[in-house]
Structure 1
Amino acid sequence: MTIVLNHTIAPAHDKAAAAEWFAKIFGLRAEYDDGHFASVRINEALTLLFAEENSFSPNHYAFHVGDAEFDAILARVKAARLAFGSAPWSEADGKLNDWNGGRGVYFRSPDGHLLELMTAAH
């Protein structure tokens, strides 16, 4: 059997607000399944679960997307006036990278998580 990541948990100060923000930026829908987590289904194989935590260290979440999804998400990032950049060390330079022959960008969620989009997998 192929190993597939089914879900991961992202800490948040407000799980519902974090799920709504993520869903809006990524063009998805937030769901509230059991009251413990606020969830966003990324695709048929992966769900991002948001759990409330008082304190946490920000994480890095990277998403391999197609060109159309990249353009749509980046447009929503720009419309939300979020800082974005070409690398983790220059996440606010307003540029994209061209690593591995694709396009990539980094930006932060309201909870401080570093989100990465790439059109060519590493």
Structure 2
Amino acid sequence: MAVELNHTIVYARDRHESARFLADVLGLEVGADWGPFTPVELSNGVTLDYATLRGGEVAPQHYAFLISEAEFDAAFGRIQDGGVEYFADPMRTRVGMINHNDGGRGVYFMDPSGHGMELITRPYGSGQEPGRTGV
């Protein structure tokens, strides 16, 4: 059997708010609650199981989603329409911009719990860009 990622738990301040936020941006559905989890299933079968953290602070993580150009157009439109601040870089210095890494498009934004979210249309290393080597 090939090794595949099946699911991961994403801690949030409010599992429902964070799951709904991501699902709305990506044009996905939020699944039915399952115990302490609120799932968002991706098209490759991987599930992000959101759980509300009880006590303490949510440790920010980074989640990158590879999507098609058409999906990028739709998701980026929802980001803009929702007034979500976005960036062209993970350090959040290029505010209000997207990037064109590897000949595609990419954008970074934060979810309600402070996780860094990234949308890309080309996998890293799949093309060439100035100042960067790639396959």
- The interval holding the TM-score normalised by the smaller chain is over 0.9
Equivalent position to 1:69, from 71, 74, 81: 71
Structure 2: unaligned runs, 5 residues or longer: 125-135
The offset of 1:3, in angstroms, is 2.5
Residues 91 and 106 in structure 1, CA contact (< 8 A), matched pair in contact too = no
RMSD of aligned Cα (Å): 1.4
Residues 38 and 51 in structure 1, CA contact (< 8 A), matched pair in contact too = yes
Q: 1:91 to 1:79 in 2, by over 3 A?
A: farther
Q: Does residue 21 of structure 2 align to residue 21 of structure 1?
A: yes
The offset of 1:71, in angstroms, is 0.7
Structure 1: unaligned runs, 5 residues or longer: none
The offset of 1:98, in angstroms, is 0.9
Equivalent position to 1:99, from 98, 101, 122: 101
* Displaced runs of 4 or more, over 4 A: none
Tell me which moved more, 101-110 or 82-91: 82-91
TM-score (norm 1): 0.92
Higher strand share: 1
Q: What amino acid is aligned across from residue 97 of structure 2 in structure 1?
A: K
Q: What amino acid is aligned across from residue 27 of structure 2 in structure 1?
A: G
TM-score (norm 2): 0.84
Counterparts of 1:44 and 1:89, CA distance in 2: 28
